[in-house]
A and B are shown apart, each in its own frame.
Chain A
Amino acid sequence: MKITTSAAVAAPREHVFSALNDRGVLRRCIPGCEELTDVDEETFAVKLKLGVAGIKGKYAGTATRQDLLPPESFTFALDGKGKTGFVRGTAAVRIETQGEASRIDCEADVQIGGAIAAVGSRLIGAVARKLTRDFFRELADAIGAPPDVSDQNEIDALPDPGRDERLE
């Protein structure tokens, strides 16, 4: 599943970039984050408590930073699982300067499995939208930017391109 999200934060992109690579900021901003610990310089482990559709659960996983290109872009390789399913894939983050503010585009290509796919896949887009909004609201607060830019956030969860091809 490909999930693309965009957000705007009223701060220079250098600030945004360093905030997105600051584990203290991430610990504070990631919705449902219960624990975020260092594994090594590029990898951190995270424990989350989240609800997707009717399925509430705890998830544990790792994020490994790749292709670091400050202050423009980086990618997280994600691998997480819980009792109700798993998520694995990549999230590519690109930050552009837009006047006084920064525009953040995130393109996630993830595989979702287990009960959260069977029951929640239809709602993943909406869940991602809410989580993104929450995340960037916190991020703006963390770096002292004006808070509410959520209405500029866009999200588009695309269905799997291969999913329906037999039927078309």
Chain B
Amino acid sequence: MGVLFQLAAYGCGLLTIAVLVMMFQLGRPLFVDGQFFSLLSQVWQPGQQLYGIYPMIIGSIRISFLALALSFPVSLGTAFLAAGLAPRPMQRWVLAMVRLMAGIPTVVYGFVAIFLLVPLVREHVSRGSGLNILTASLVLAVLIAPTMVVFFVNGLRGVDQSYCRATDALGATAVQRLLYLQLPQGWPTIVSGVIMGLGRAMGDTLVSLMVAGNSIGVPTSIVDSARTLTAHIALVIAADFASMEFASIFACGLVLYLFTMAVVIGLRMLVHLRTGSDR
């Protein structure tokens, strides 16, 4: 029986590696004379045999960082309420609301955004279709907020109770306790939350596919339409398995894979930092 458990665990571990290997295998045309790296910096113009994913990389980065910038203050504020500023019974309700938001399917966020947010953006902010970086970032900001709030609250509440009692005994207000005790003490978890939020924004497919417009140019402003790496994978279904167009989706997949690895390793280093500083 123990062997079966071991087999299952090794199998799942191998799965992670197999995902990478399969992408290498099918994206083989990419690795003939260093094309992978030139693909990262080229534009996408199939008419001229250019299948670069540079516009998608820029699109992904712009959308997710803007979403993060929009979501951070909102999430931090909500976490402040849930971790001390709001009256006790309300703290629970705030957390319940955040959990509920985490349970809303991504596709529903996208669907509502198309019919509710896109017309607003179209009329008041940009001309054209209303499908652009700003719209996608606004939706993603709401989408990643629950993840970040949960991390922030854990970080802020994770402070040793004796410290909290000490600040209370010194006459500190709830705001002072948050600012000068809980925030400085909980920052590694807060940074983890930000990284997780970025990861979710970067990895989300449906919202950017539905409301970012999917144009293939390099976006120059936040009201430009853009295509993300994830949306590119979902959009390109080429019939010719040996073509560069087909291989380009595996280039996107590899970039996203490497990004995930960086996120996971970054989070681990943060945890080590935290446990290291405790010693």
- Are A and B associated in one complex? no
Interface residues in chain A, defined as those with a beta carbon under 8 Å from any beta carbon in chain B = none
Interface residues in chain B, defined as those with a beta carbon under 8 Å from any beta carbon in chain A = none
